[in-house]
Amino acid sequence: MAKLAFDTHKRTSTSGHLNPLTGELEKETIPTTFEALRELLGRYTEPVIVYVEACREGPRFARWAQSLGAEVHLLDPAKIKPIARVMQSKTDKHDARLMALLTLADGLLNLEVYLAPGDVTQNRSLSRGRNVLRKISTMLRNVLRIILHLNDVETGVTDLCGKRAREQWDSWVAQLPPRTALVARIFFDLLGQVEQSIGTLDAEMSKQAKRDPVVKALQGVHGIGRMIAFGIAAEIGDISRFRNPKALICFAGLAPMSNDSDEYHGPRHLSNRCNKRLRCLVVQAAQSAARCRKPSRARDAYYRVKQNHDPTTASIAAAREIITDVYYIWRRTDAAQVLGSVPT
């Protein structure tokens, strides 16, 4: 069985392979393309294990190797970096050699990270794409409201995409100066196109959500609707890679970090090394749960913390309760599926 380690970059990638007979490093630089990787892997008659650093080009390169039948492992750059410090210089050749040496100790070193399968990657694209469009929609709405307000145009509506706003739009634009009216018309047309695109993504996400038992189960948590449940499931991918709720809380960046020394107690803060999209989704769910009248663990945590802290800190505390509920509900759903598939 051949083991290949790759140091991937945008244009070229360097492969490292330790010859089992001589122990020498066989290094080769190839273009970072699917065809070049297929040609390289095609030289090996035995099964191939590919190790790729989880950098910018790593996941794409790993999926190429998977499609070519190779067993693929993503390695954590944060764990490789301390090992690489012993080297005198940093070059592609040294990086490839280090990666190749680490393949010999893959059973001893916990360097592997999660590689999302194709379905999870597609669901992430849906959820993240919708979030981007929603931000664009909010920006366009704000700009239009500013234009109307600065020109003393009273709308009396809260939704610029609603039926009433569309009916009165021409009368509002007629009150604007010519060049300002041109900008307003362009932005209003863009807003309509963005909202139509969001509706298309919502329909596809709803279609996929109905097929996923995990998404259905997560909607039982107060504050989590169908779209947020779909996004949370896509960002987590596989709940079994988290040994307990605390690990999932750290992954979502909801665990407070400290900076204490002796009698000094620094302010608590949240880590930037996390899945920020997941954190945003869970905080949105926590804020919705806090507004909900029905009692829940997240709502109780929000108002308990808010008594002595600001609303942001209270939302983070409620989000930790939300993500804990997500962990246990997902685990129970997976267990129920396993039990349901076992013949009696």
- The crossing angle, in degrees rounded to 10, of helices 297-306 and 311-341 is 160
CB 140 within 8 A of CB 194: yes
User: Residues 247-256: pLDDT tens digits?
Assistant: 999 999 998 8
| Cα 125–Cα 210–Cα 342 angle in degrees, nearest 5 | 105
CA-based diameter of the chain, in Å?
83
The tens digit of pLDDT for each residue in 114-151 reads 888 889 999 999 999 999 999 999 999 999 999 999 99
Task: Report the alpha-carbon distance of residue 224 to residue 287 in Å, rounded.
Answer: 10
Give the per-residue pLDDT at 202: 96
Cα gap 319→18, rounded to integer Å: 47
Average pLDDT over residues 202-230: 94
Contact between 75 and 99 under an 8 Å Cβ cutoff? The reply is yes
Instruction: Provide the 8-state DSSP code for 114.
Output: -
Please determine, for residue 5, whether its predicted confidence score (pLDDT) is greater than 90: no
155-164, 180-189, 290-299 — most confident range: 180-189
pLDDT exceeds cutoff 50 at 344: no
pLDDT band at 27; cut points 50, 70, 90: confident
> Is 40 in contact with 15 (CB distance < 8 Å)?
yes
Fold of 2-113: Nucleotidyltransferase; domain 5 (3.30.420)
**Orientation angle between helical segments 92-103 and 77-84, nearest 10 degrees:** 110
Strand partners, 7: 14
**Token pair of 307, please?**
């008594």
Share of residues in the chain with pLDDT > 90 (%): 60
Gap between the Cα atoms of 233 and 326, Å rounded: 9
Total-model pTM: 0.85
Question: Which tokens in the block code for residue 323?
Answer: 């993500």
DSSP 46: S
- What's the rounded Cα separation, in Å, for the pair 147 and 138? 14
Could you give the 3-state DSSP secondary structure of residue 228? helix
Of the candidates 292, 277, 158, the one whose C-alpha atom is nearest the C-alpha of residue 225 is: 292
Beta bridge partners of residue 25, listed in sequence order:
18
Angstrom distance (rounded) from CA 230 to CA 242: 19
Confirm if 140 and 218 have CB atoms less than 8 A apart.
no
